[in-house]
Amino acid sequence: MLDIHFIREHADLVKAGAAKKHIEVDIDRLLKVDEERKLLRQDLDEKRAEQNRASGAIMRAEGGEKEKLIEAMQHLKTGMAETEEKYKAAMEEWQKLMLLVPNIPDMTVPEGVDDADNQEVRVWGEKPEFSFTPKDHVALMTANGMVDFERGAKVAGFRGYYLKGDAVLLANALSQLALKHFMTKGFEPMIVPSLVRREAFMGTGYLPQGEDDLYKTQDGEYLAGTGEVATMGYYQDEVLEASEFPKKMLAYSPCFRREAGSHSKDTKGLIRVHEFFKWEQVVLCEASHTASVTLHEELTQNAEEFLQLLNLPYHVVVNCGGDLGLGQVKKYDLEAWMPSQQTYRETHSSSYFHDFQTRRLNLRYRDQEGKLQFAHSLNNTAVALPRLLAVIVENYQQEDGTIRVPEVLIPYVGKEVMGHTA
């Protein structure tokens, strides 16, 4: 959510920002409703002031005088009720519109409609050269008893899967490495809820728009698609101290995504699944653009280092305006090389929000002058488990169908090669 004062004073900027994101929002309507709301509010304030004055008089009056005053107040009340109704209606529309206004993308965000327009900013690593025809992760992992998609579908339905054997060792090894790597960067590990109430989804900007992408329980909670939701909710409605910043949290959680509207995409394998596990970097900092930008680069760097530890070739793209979410100011995606697809696939998504989320969450801190400010928030993947397994398996495959364990993971996996020898 943006500050209404800002929207009033910089309507052109807000409109341009929405246009860059290719998001439809009627700012003029919002400003009109805002003006109406303000006038109704003033009207109501005056009536209430009168009521308060009369109330004081009643308190001090005696006997018949009191009776008369009370009777007069009963009349005033009926007049107020009408204004209150109007104000309530205006307020409702105002709030609805406010939730639709996107955050303004940074100047450095390129123009574009969708992910095809994202721009590569750097490339790292050597793509593996194979003296044989490389297999995809589905074939490799199935042959080595690391995954079972058939039974996954039988039991869980479309996109269901079981991880087994060496895949489990590899998944846990990645978790261990992530803990070690990110804790040295100052992150506090947390295991956070996936079953989360509506408020935190509103606060993080996944609702009201993203209803179709979320699973919902019969009791009204939603299943989070990322640990970011519960982690940001952690300090909702709280006031932090500036000295606590930057607050770096490493959140682990199961993640659930309906993937509505992407039925034909990535129908096979571990790239796009309905449930998975993820470690997520979530950061709160002071309300400063410089701090946000610095930390954004840092979170991106952290993730890059993680891929570098695993010696996985990747590139970084800066997402174009049309590929940004409602609240994001800027986003980098890290995409690792997938030999079977001869393309890079997203493994990490690093973004910052300024105070867009914290405003919705009412998450503030006291600054040096003792004033309350909305904090800034950022997040980036640390490691998304099944997807990164697929990347590793494909890049580290050998001609006989076995898979080398990345050097750095050998201590955690406990061996150097995964899979059955041919």
Partner RNA sequence: GGAGUCGUGGCUGAGUGGUCGAAAGCGCGUCACUGCUAAUGACGUAGGGGUGUUAAAGCCCCUCCAGGGUUCGAAUCCCUGCGACUCCGCCA
Contact present, 227 and 192 (Cβ < 8 Å): yes
Cα distance between residue 254 and residue 252, in whole Å:
7
Residue 405 C-beta-side C-alpha neighbours within 13 Å:
22
**Residues in 63-82 that interact with RNA by CB under 7 A:** 70, 73-74, 77
Give the closest residue to 302 by CA, choosing from 228, 356, 241, 249. Answer: 249
- The count of residues in the chain is 422
> Does the footprint of RNA cover residue 42 (CB under 7 A)?
yes
Does the footprint of RNA cover residue 236 (CB under 7 A)?
no
What is the footprint of RNA within residues 314-353 (CB under 7 A)? none
| 396 close to 388: Cβ distance less than 8 angstroms | no
Contacts of 46 by beta carbon, 8 Å cutoff, 6+ apart: none
Active-site pick, 349, 350, 351, 377: 349
As separate numbers, helices (DSSP H) first and strands (DSSP E) second, the chain gives 13, 18
Could you confirm whether 346 is annotated as catalytic?
yes
107 binds RNA (CB under 7 A): no
Known catalytic residue at 82: no
Report if residue 261 touches RNA, rule: CB under 7 A.
no
Q: Indicate which single residue of 19, 23, 44, 410 sits in contact with RNA (rule: CB under 7 A).
A: 44
Does residue number 95 form part of the binding site for RNA (CB under 7 A)?
no
Burial class of 184 by CB neighbour count within 10 A (0 to 12, 13 to 18, 19+)? exposed
- Residues of this chain, 357-376, that bind RNA according to CB under 7 A: 366, 370-372
Known catalytic membership, residue 272 = yes
> What is the closest distance, in whole angstroms, from the C-beta atom of residue 234 to RNA in the complex?
14
**By CB under 7 A, is residue 52 in contact with RNA?**
yes
Q: Is residue 278 within 8 Å of 383, Cβ to Cβ?
A: yes
CA distances from 245 to 187, 230, 281, 288 (A): 12, 19, 15, 12
Check binding of 239 to RNA (CB under 7 A).
Answer: yes
- Give me the least distance between CB of 49 and RNA, in Å please: 3
Helix (H, G, I), strand (E, B) or coil at 10: coil
Q: How near is the Cβ of 184 to RNA at its closest, in Å?
A: 27
Residue 128 near residue 313, CB atoms below 8 Å: yes
The reply on whether position 51 binds RNA by CB under 7 A is yes
Indicate which single residue of 23, 27, 31, 58 sits in contact with RNA (rule: CB under 7 A).
Answer: 58
Residue of 272, 345, 360, 364 with catalytic role: 272
Active site residue 359: no
Q: How far is the CB of 15 from RNA (least distance, A)?
A: 20
Token representation of residue 303: 């993730």
Catalytic residues: 257, 272, 346, 349, 387
Residues that bind RNA (CB under 7 A): 5, 38, 41-42, 44-46, 48-49, 51-55, 58-59, 70, 73-74, 77, 88, 238-239, 366, 370-372
